[in-house]
């Protein structure tokens, strides 16, 4: 007689059950309600099916209220309902993989041998079919198959991608006693390869889901492979949560910088210059303020600003390695004479090789290091067309770019100082929840492994010293060195690299940069490539979404709108505007004040200023003109009442310096 199980419940109590007890039996022994709601169980820190026997140790029964339980339901929805529905409605399709994601699930399916491709119009019917499958409440049972038998099965059903997954599992030694787990729908016999767990019966998958969109996706994430059709779905425990999620998405889309930007007259895009913003006066004032702010920050931190050429001979990029690594993305300019190409130049795709040229001018000694060289240089990259995305991913952009030339000994301190500066800047700009990615050596790279070891260790150490937690992203480094990426999130949850710190032991040496050490040796300096905002375009895109266009006073394109009540106050309004413009300096000149002298009624003028998200509305009527005051109304509707201009100026001055 095997020893009974000792099961520790989440409340700390211990329950003794006979050996062989399953999760389902445990749930039933606790309560009928729990038994009905259970979708899986965590036993001994491992998720498993309710049908599996338990081991002694901690147990936690999962329902849709647990994140893991919801994940199981999402998993069953895609693998058992969506997959089965696709196979039934579209003969000839081949199933690939169907994992869960943050808000739901997707399934990748090969439609190349189906009668026609899947279109978004098919989603409602597909979703209805899923609901039919779920409504059968079919039991889902786990089975272990010999790999060869299972491969024969999938060969028969045409799902040959599954066989590749099985082969991969064999290779990685992931079999369970030489077998592979599958899940079977007991009513239809549909079988999907899966490690599980799954809900015990389909009735437990909530009806609160929706197929949301279609996309292309490469098999195994490799563009050399077949492209599959990815079907996305969202699933939550209750309809209320699904509705709340969809509502949140709809609200988030209103913050989209691609909508707000043109609506606020900040910038626009046009076919004649894909991926390059036309910056309007109002958008450019933000650009100017931000650049000016960064310039001050860099100056204080001991950087010197330079400017390098726009169009550079290809030999520089051949020497740096960029020609080989990014040839496709260079904008080339051919110099032709009488039909013969004499020379090829490239629009500058990044500043670093040019900065090395400046470094190389004259002999450098260890006394010159660290040398911090900054440039708000204009760069052009011919990005893959499908990659372009508003201001976030563009072909033409400027960065708050700088390269720190330093000795190996100085590298750590410089990295720490950079992380500190970045943090201070992000705080000023209202970003506190950025996250950090450490991207390590890619397959295609230059330099020896021990140099990479050193560079990667330096970045990890820098994070540690600055108290930054990071996510490791293996293989995502630049070809010349590893990098820290400082990532910000846009309104619809997409992540964008903004700041970066890269340790480069290769480029300086490749381009012949060196300095004389104390002992008279000639050594190549270490280069730290770093940016805080990253692409100004991208950063402004993020800022627009962060503030929903309601910029803090110092960044606001129009900082105050003077609203005369009748045209008798137009002259006074102009005087007020002129006084304020002269009273307070900004990066674009004086305070950015406009007067709405249109013949609209005041109510309409306020509405328009509000829609333009102008922080201050200064209403002037006969009373104000008489008293030499303005009636101050804020963007949020607050009425501060009438005040003398000097009071207002002080208030604005304080607000500007606080950058709020």
Closest CB to RNA among 296 and 604? 604
Buried b (16+ CB within 10 A) or exposed e, 164-183: ebbeebeeeeeeeeeebbbb
**100 CB-near residues (< 8 Å, 6+ apart):** 71, 74, 75, 78
CB of 495 vs RNA, minimal distance in Å: 9
Closest CB to RNA among 181 and 229? 229
Which H/E stretch holds residue 622? helix 622-627
Which H/E stretch holds residue 456? helix 449-465
Closest CB to RNA among 190 and 209? 209
Closest CB to RNA among 190 and 470? 470
CB of 583 vs RNA, minimal distance in Å: 21
Q: Is there a contact between 237 and 65 (Cβ–Cβ < 8 Å)? A: yes
Tokens 């509502």 sit on residue: 247
CB of 624 vs RNA, minimal distance in Å: 6
Closest CB to RNA among 140 and 527? 527
Q: Is there a contact between 261 and 232 (Cβ–Cβ < 8 Å)? A: no
Q: Which 3 state secondary structure label does DSSP give 186?
A: coil
Supply 292's token pair: 């000016």
User: Would you name the residues annotated as active-site residues?
Assistant: 352, 381, 399, 401, 403, 483, 529
Query: What is the distance between the alpha carbons of residues 319 and 325, in angstroms, rounded to a whole number?
Result: 11
Q: Is there a contact between 525 and 369 (Cβ–Cβ < 8 Å)? A: yes
Closest CB to RNA among 126 and 617? 617
Query: What is the distance between the alpha carbons of residues 114 and 534, in angstroms, rounded to a whole number?
Result: 45
Query: What is the distance between the alpha carbons of residues 140 and 181, in angstroms, rounded to a whole number?
Result: 13
**Helices and strands (H and E) in the chain: how many:** 21, 37
Helices (H), 141-276: 147-157, 160-171, 239-253, 257-263
Closest CB to RNA among 168 and 216? 216
How many Å separate Cα 254 from the centre of its chain? 18
Closest CB to RNA among 319 and 587? 319
Q: How many residues does the chain have?
A: 660
Closest CB to RNA among 247 and 296? 247
Bond before 370 cis per omega within 30 degrees: yes
CB of 218 vs RNA, minimal distance in Å: 4
CB of 413 vs RNA, minimal distance in Å: 22
Sign of the four-CA dihedral 253, 258, 262, 266: positive
Supply 49's token pair: 């099916």
CB of 93 vs RNA, minimal distance in Å: 13
For residue 133, CA distances in Å to 149, 186, 203, 390 come to 26, 12, 10, 40
CB of 188 vs RNA, minimal distance in Å: 28
Closest CB to RNA among 189 and 221? 221
Strand partners, 95: 109
Reported in sequence order, the residue ranges of 73-165 that DSSP labels E, i.e. its strands, are: 94-95, 100-101, 104-110, 140-145
Strand partners, 154: none
CB of 126 vs RNA, minimal distance in Å: 13
Determine what percent of the chain falls in helix, strand and coil, rounding each to the nearest 5: 40, 30, 35
Closest CB to RNA among 364 and 483? 483
**589 CB-near residues (< 8 Å, 6+ apart):** 581
Angle at 571 between CA 569 and CA 575, to 5 degrees: 115
Query: What is the distance between the alpha carbons of residues 388 and 371, in angstroms, rounded to a whole number?
Result: 34
Closest listed residue to residue 540, CA positions, set 223, 322, 334, 293: 293
Query: What is the distance between the alpha carbons of residues 443 and 445, in angstroms, rounded to a whole number?
Result: 6
């Amino acid at each position: 007689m095997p020893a009974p199980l000792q099961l520790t419940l989440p409340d700390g109590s211990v329950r003794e059950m006979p050996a062989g007890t399953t999760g389902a039996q445990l749930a039933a022994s606790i309560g009928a309600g729990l038994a009905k709601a259970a979708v899986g169980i965590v036993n001994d820190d491992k998720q498993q099916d309710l049908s599996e026997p338990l081991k002694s140790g901690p147990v936690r029964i999962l329902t849709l209220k647990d994140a893991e339980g919801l994940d199981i339901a999402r998993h069953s929805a895609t693998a058992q309902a969506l997959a089965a529905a696709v196979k039934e409605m579209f003969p000839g399709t081949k199933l690939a993989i169907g994992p869960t994601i943050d808000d739901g699930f997707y399934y990748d399916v090969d439609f190349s041998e189906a009668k026609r491709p899947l279109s978004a119009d098919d989603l409602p019917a597909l979703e209805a079919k899923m609901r039919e499958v779920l409504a059968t409440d079919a039991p889902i049972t786990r089975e272990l198959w010999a790999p060869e038998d299972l491969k024969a099965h999938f060969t028969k059903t045409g799902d040959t991608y599954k066989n590749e997954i099985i082969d991969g599992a064999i290779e990685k030694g992931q079999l369970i006693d030489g077998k592979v787990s599958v899940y079977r729908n007991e009513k239809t016999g549909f079988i999907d390869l899966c490690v599980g767990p799954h809900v015990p019966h389909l009735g437990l998958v909530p009806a609160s889901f929706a197929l949301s969109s279609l996309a292309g996706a490469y098999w195994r994430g490799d563009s050399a492979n077949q492209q599959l059709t990815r079907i996305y779905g969202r699933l939550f425990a209750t309809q209320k949560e699904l509705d709340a999620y969809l509502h949140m998405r709809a609200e988030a889309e209103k913050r989209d910088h691609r909508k707000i930007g043109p609506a606020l007259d900040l910038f626009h895009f046009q076919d004649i210059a894909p991926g390059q913003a036309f910056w309007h006066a109002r958008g450019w004032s933000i650009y100017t303020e931000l650049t000016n702010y960064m310039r001050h920050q860099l100056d204080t931190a001991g950087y010197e600003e330079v400017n390098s050429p726009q169009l550079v001979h290809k030999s520089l990029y051949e020497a740096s390695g960029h020609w080989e690594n990014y040839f496709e993305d260079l904008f080339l300019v051919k110099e032709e004479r009488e039909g013969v190409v004499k020379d090829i130049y490239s629009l500058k795709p990044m500043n670093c090789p040019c900065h090395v040229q400046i470094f190389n001018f004259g002999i450098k000694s260890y006394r010159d290091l660290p040398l911090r060289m900054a440039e708000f240089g204009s760069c052009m990259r011919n990005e893959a067309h499908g990659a372009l995305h508003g201001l976030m991913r563009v072909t033409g952009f400027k960065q708050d770019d700088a390269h720190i030339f330093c000795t190996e000994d100085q590298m750590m301190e410089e990295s720490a100082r950079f992380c500190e500066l970045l943090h201070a800047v992000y705080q000023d700009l209202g970003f506190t929840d950025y996250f950090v990615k450490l991207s390590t050596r890619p397959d295609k790279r230059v330099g020896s492994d021990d140099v990479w070891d050193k560079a990667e260790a330096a970045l990890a150490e820098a994070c540690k010293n600055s108290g930054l937690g990071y996510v490791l992203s293996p293989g995502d480094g630049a070809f010349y060195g590893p990098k820290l990426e400082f990532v910000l999130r846009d309104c619809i949850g997409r992540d964008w690299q903004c700041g970066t710190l890269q340790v480069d032991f290769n480029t300086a040496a490749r381009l012949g940069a060196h300095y004389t050490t104390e002992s008279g040796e000639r050594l190549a300096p270490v280069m730290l490539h770093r940016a805080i905002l990253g692409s100004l375009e991208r950063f402004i895109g993020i800022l627009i979404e962060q503030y929903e266009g309601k910029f803090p006073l110092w960044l606001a394109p129009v900082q105050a709108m003077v609203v005369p009540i009748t045209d008798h106050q137009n002259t006074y309004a102009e005087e007020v505007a002129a006084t304020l413009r002269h009273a307070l300096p900004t990066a674009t000149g004086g305070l950015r004040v406009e007067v709405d002298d249109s013949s609209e009624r005041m109510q309409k003028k306020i509405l328009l200023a509000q829609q333009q998200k102008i922080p201050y509305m200064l209403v002037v009527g006969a009373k104000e003109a008489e008293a030499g005051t303005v009636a101050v109304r804020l963007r949020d509707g607050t009425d501060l009442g009438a005040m003398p201009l000097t009071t207002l100026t002080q208030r604005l001055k304080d607000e500007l310096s606080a950058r709020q």
